[in-house]
Each structure stands twice: as C-alpha cells, then as structure tokens.
Amino acid sequence: MKYFSLLALLFPAVTLQAQERYNILWLSCEDIDPSLSCYGAKGIETPNIDRLAKEGIRFDNAYSTVGVCAPSRSSIITGVYPVSMGTHNMRTSHQVLYKGIDGDKYPSFQAVTGKRGRNIPAYSAVPAPEIKCFTEYLRTAGYYCTNNAKCDYQFYPPFTAWDENGFDADYKHTPKGMPFFSVYNHEVTHESRIWKKANDPMLINPKEIDLPDYYPDIEVVRKDVGRKYSNIAELDAQIGLRIKQLEEEGLLNKTIIVFWSDHGGPMLRQKRAVGNTGLHVPLIIRFPDKRYAGTVSKDLVSLMDLAPTMLSVAGIKPPEYMQGHAFLGDYKTEKREAIYGSADRFDEVYDFSRSVINGKFSYIRNFNPGTPLIYRNQYREQIDMTRELIEMDKNGELTGGAAYIFRDQREVEELYDLENDPDEINNLAKDPKYRKQLIKMRKQLAAWQLKIGDKGFIDEYDLVQMFWPGLVQPVTEDVTIKESKKSIVLSCKTEGASIGYQLDSQIGGKRWMLYTEPLYLKQGQKLVTRAIRYGYQVSKPIQFNMK
C-alpha cells in the first residue's frame, strides 16, 4: 500500500478541460465509521469497497463536521460549517426529501422545547445569501446533476440545485454530450436498521469482531454491534452492484467514484459524539484512469471539503465563502492542520460541545459541563444494547471504559491521545504532561469559533427569529423579466435568490433549468420562471411569451 501527502500530488500536464470531462458518482451511506476490511476491521469482509480502495485513494483521517446526519449533510452540500450558517441543531424539520417545488410546509409546532422553555417550531435555516448548494456551480459548468434521494440539508432542497431529485433520479437520464454528477444514498447502515433488521440473517459472526473499549463484552452488545457489521456487509454488496452497473454501461473508465459516510457509527458513543468516535468516517476516491491507485492519504480531510474538491476536480474555482478546503484538483489548497466538530441539539436533547482533532489528539470543550456524557435520547434507546447498558449503569454494573462513558458529569475539557486511546476513554486534560498540547488546542478552538462566527451561542428560538422574523417564513420576490431586442434578462430583488426557468415543453415538468445568463428566445416560445432564496418560500410562477 502506497502512502502520500496530498500536497505532493501533481495532476498530469493535460487537464480535464482538454479531455472529455469525467462523470462524478457519489456512493454515500449512513452512520458508519471505518469498520471495513480495507481499513483493517476484523470479522468482516467488504470486497467491493476494498476494490475501490485498491483502485483509488483511501483517506485514513477523514471526519464529518457533526456526528449526526442533517447538520453534517448541510456542510457537505455547501462547503460551510453548520455552526457558521445556523444548520447545527438536529433537526430543523422533517423535510428530508424533495417533495416538489412547493413542498416546503412547516407546522407551527413540533415537540421540541428550547433551553428557555419556548417551543421551537419546524423551520428551515436561512444561510447567508451567497451560500449555495455546490451543485449549482456544477450545473452552471454543464454537468447534469441528480440526487437519489436523501437531502436533509436543514433547509428545504432548492429546486435549482438538481436536474433531478428523488427516488427516480438517475444519471441514465443525462442528455447526450453532458457529464453527470450523481448521488446515490444507501440507507441500509442507518442507526434505525439496528432494530429494524434485528431478525434478518446475520452476514458476519459476532464472535469474531472487535468491540470498542467503551462496551462490555456481553451477548446483547455483540448482537447489536454484530448487526452493525452485518448491515455494512449488505452495504458492500449494494456498492458492488453499482460498480457492476457502471462496468456494463461502459462508464467505469469515465467516472470518478467517491464513497463516503455522512458521519461515524450508529451505536452509543458513536453517533452524536463530537470526538473521534463520532466523526471518524471512511472516504475513498477512485479515478477512472487509475490515478493514485492503491494509495493511502494520512492528511486530515473534512467531509465539508468535498464541495470545493468536486469543483476543483471539475476545473471550477471554488467560491471564496466556502470554508472547506479543496484537497484535489486544479485548485487544491494547503493541507489542514485540524478538524473541527460540533454537537448541539439532537432531537429533544440539548448538547453544546466543540472539538478539535489533529490526527494524534482530540480536544473537546463542553460548554454544558456537569451534564452526563451519555444523555437520554428516545430515538437511540430503541436499540436493545443501549437500554441494557442504561440499566447496568443504574445498577452499578459497568466497569472500565463503559463506566467512563456513563459518568454522571462531564468535564469542561477533554483531551485524548488517539494513537494510544482511539476510543477516547482516558481523559488527559488534567495531566501536567499534556498541558502544552491542551493549551494549543484550546486556542485553536477559540480562534476557529471566532473566525467562523459560531452560532451555537445563540438560543435556538432567537436563531429562528433571525431566520424568520415573527416566526413567519419569508417569501422570495417574484422574478422580474426584462426584454430587449436580442435577449431576455431575469432578475430577483431578493438578495441571494437563485432563479430557475422552464421553456415550452418543459413547462409543468419536474426539471427546472438554472438561470445563469441572458436567454435568447425565438418568436412564439413560452417561458415560466421562479426564484428561491434558501430557507424562504419559493416565488410565484411568472409566465412570458416571446412575441
């Protein structure tokens, strides 16, 4: 296995702009850490994902920004930290799928109580006006973009972000001559599948897997952790079918494949955790020309870096507002010195923690010290082992690492040596030998929070008021059409609005073209146009007939 630093990579002298542009295919999954055989996991074989690693780049130090899906996915689609744009509380609403251009409906009440006892309504976050889904830049550059099918961005998926968005979305619909960017999300490894698939055949032997040091070795733990591994084995088979389909269609040698998970594992001390155990994810990128085949990167990579990196690989300069770093392509930047993570509201429970991970150490700052490390959360307590461990803790039956994660009160600061303690059960924050490291990472975190404008300090109810004054969702202004002898110019007074349009036979269909430059219509052509500012209601349809 070859190791390299991304900074040392040099692309061939002939860039992709001078060749046929590669397609880009994202094979995303949910809730897995690097529990794959290509990462050295025991008791499981993942030959199809291993093949991607053998023919591509395996990233050993990849991390999500949050240990839960919706905030993490908001950073992946925008290249901006959730706590910077206000998408950090899980969830703003249950709008996790695209339901058409007018599908953003929000009940005024949901079962979430704010820190000050005020009801938090269902809402859509409103990112800064310049922030866009990075797919808009790909569409502008001529890519056909499809998403099948999960969105979960904390704001309703804008109709301008995708050519196709839904369970029918497929790169097979790409018009001839266009490259595609397509996403397929695989849900088989989601946390909920631990209990939903409890009675399915087990594809691995639970006795052969390694348990983290924070779990007792008891039957119910091996059963549920075994189900996690079994679901990963099922995921691998699904990935194999995707690869086979590309081969049969003659697209494998024309498509960049990116495999990633939205955050770490689905179990206790994994999902929703802000340190290494919650944020560490697998990431593999395979180039069709076998570039860097079989290499391993030890550089730090955040999933939010995927947005600028995909633009960079496509020869598109990432916009300056993106806080992610391009780690490949024409616009790659210097490698990261640290990864930053966050934990805030998770469903009905409020957390407030931040983390810095540099590959060797993880530092966690708890802004609600004195609260338990393992807090009660109704959703995850549907897993048998979670309920059993809670009971064992009540009865004083837990020891070692399991007793540590069930401590009644967490410290203000946590510091872990990841080389010797990847499960983060030996807090070194008060050890004088690590004082210098503690202070360094404490300063890193504070500087980062100031730089990105951490909105975790704002009460969520007040944050919603900032997004939606009076708790009323703003409405995007109607598109203005200006006609000249030669062109049609579309504009919208709402700052940051994206404009979409349909022509002739497209009108009434699902696909909206993204407006980027003046349109040249022929006599008799018809146009319908609408605009959307992310988090706002979509504007009314405006019709135009070219005379």
- How is 366-434 classified by DSSP, letter by letter? ESSTTS-SS---TTGGGSHHHHHHHHHHHTT---HHHHHHT-SS--SEEEEETTT-TT--S--TT-GGG
Residue 532 has pLDDT above 80, yes or no: yes
Domain end residue (candidates: 446, 470, 494): 470
Q: What is the pLDDT of residue 1?
A: 45
Clarify whether residues 213 and 300 are in a common domain: yes
Residue 160 belongs to some domain of the structure: yes
pLDDT in tens, 183-238: 999 999 999 999 999 999 999 999 999 999 999 999 999 999 999 999 999 999 99
Last residue of a domain, one of 283, 316, 336: 336
Mean pLDDT for 267-279 is 98
| CA dihedral for 212, 214, 216, 219, sign (positive or negative) | negative
**Whether residues 408 and 274 fall in one domain:** no
- Whole-number pLDDT of residue 494: 98
Contacts for 203-210: CB closer than 8 Å, 24+ residues apart: 203/229, 203/230, 203/233, 203/234, 204/43, 204/44, 204/229, 204/230, 204/233, 205/43, 206/43, 208/42, 208/43, 209/41, 209/42, 209/43, 209/44, 210/41, 210/42, 210/43
**Is residue 166 included in any domain, yes or no?**
yes
Q: Please give the average per-residue pLDDT across 330-353, as a whole number.
A: 96
Q: Which residue in this structure is represented by tokens 């490390």?
A: 373
pLDDT at residue 520 is higher than 50: yes
> Which tokens belong to 23?
């397609």
Is the confidence at residue 42, as pLDDT, over 70? yes
| Closest alpha carbon to 32 in 89, 92, 72, 83 | 72
Residue with tokens 């689905």: 266
Kindly report, residue by residue over 63-91, the tens digit of the pLDDT. 999 999 999 999 999 999 999 999 999 99
Structure tokens at 476: 């995007």
173 and 242 assigned to the same domain? yes
**Which residue in the list 29, 69, 133, 145 is annotated as catalytic?**
69
| 21 lies in some domain | no
In the predicted structure, residue 15 carries a pLDDT above the cut 90: no
Region label for 97, one of left (φ > 0), alpha (ψ between -120 and 50) or beta (otherwise): beta
Asked, for residue 17, whether it belongs to a domain, the answer is no
What is the domain-level CATH number for residue 242?
3.40.720.10
Q: Does a structural domain hold residue 18?
A: no
Same domain membership, residue 465 and residue 324: no
Q: Count the Cβ atoms, other than its own, within 10 Å of residue 67.
A: 32
Give one word for 436, left, alpha or beta, with left for phi > 0 and alpha for psi -120 to 50.
alpha
Residue 336 predicted with pLDDT over 90? yes
Residue 453's domain comprises: 343-470
pLDDT one-digit tens code per residue, 131-184 = 999 999 999 999 999 999 999 999 999 999 999 999 999 999 999 999 999 999
Q: Cα(72)–Cα(31) distance, rounded to whole angstroms?
A: 11
Instruction: State percent of the chain over pLDDT 70.
Output: 96
pLDDT of residue 9: 37
384 has pLDDT over 70: yes
Residue 525 pLDDT > 90:
yes
Do 456 and 466 meet the contact criterion of CB atoms below 8 Å apart? no
- In sequence order, what DSSP letters do the residues of 315-356 get, joined into one string? T-PPPTT--S---SSTT--PPPS-EEEEE--BTTB---EEEE
pLDDT, residue 424, reads 98
Res. 19 pLDDT band, cuts 50 70 90: low
Tokens for 123, please give them. 């809402």
Q: Is 69 a catalytic residue?
A: yes
- In whole angstroms, give the CA distance from residue 391 to residue 394: 5
The answer to whether residues 129 and 78 belong to one domain is yes
Question: Measured between alpha carbons, how far is 184 from 163 in angstroms, rounded to an integer?
Answer: 14
Pairwise CA distance, residues 307 & 80, whole Å: 9
Which residues, 6 or more positions from 14, have their beta carbon under 8 angstroms from its beta carbon? Answer: none
In this structure, the answer to whether residues 331 and 354 fall within a common structural domain is no
Same domain, 430 and 478: no
Shared domain for 314 and 228, answered yes or no, is yes
Confidence of residue 286 (pLDDT cuts 50, 70, 90): very high
Which of 470, 487, 515 is the C-terminal boundary of a domain?
Answer: 470
Closest CA to 305 of 361, 270, 352, 258: 258
- Structural domain includes residue 422: yes
Same structural domain, 294 and 374: no
pLDDT at 14 over 90: no
d(CA 68, CA 190): 11
359 and 256 in a common domain? no
Mind listing the pLDDT tens digit for each residue in 386-437? 999 999 999 999 999 999 999 999 999 999 999 999 999 999 999 999 999 9
- pLDDT of the residue at 289: 94
Q: HSE on the CB side for 458, CA within 13 Å?
A: 19
477, pLDDT greater than 90: yes
Q: Is residue 19 part of a domain?
A: no
Q: Which residues contact 110 (CB under 8 A, 6 or more apart)?
A: 93, 119, 120, 121, 122
Burial of 322 (0-12, 13-18, 19+ CB in 10 A): buried
Alpha-carbon span 59 to 34, nearest angstrom: 10
Q: Are 285 and 84 within 8 A, CB to CB?
A: no
Query: Looking at the domain assignment, is residue 362 inside a domain?
Result: yes
Looking at the structure, tell me whether residues 87 and 52 fall in a common domain.
yes
Give the contacts of 376 (CB within 8 A, at least 6 positions apart).
349, 390
Question: Does residue 7 carry a pLDDT above 90?
Answer: no
Query: In whole numbers, what is the pLDDT of the chain averaged over residues?
Result: 94
- How buried is residue 254: exposed, middle or buried, by Cβ count under 10 Å (0-12/13-18/19+)? middle
**What does the pLDDT read at residue 13?**
30
- Which of 410, 276, 393 has the alpha carbon at shortest distance from 341? 276
CATH code at 423?
Answer: 3.30.1120
Q: Picking from 114-118, 201-205, 356-360, 514-518, which range would have the lowest pLDDT averaged per residue?
A: 114-118
Domain count for the chain, please give it: 3
190 & 250 share domain: yes
* Amino acid letter, residue 525: Q
Angstrom CA distances, 209 to 40, 44, 194, stand at 11, 7, 16
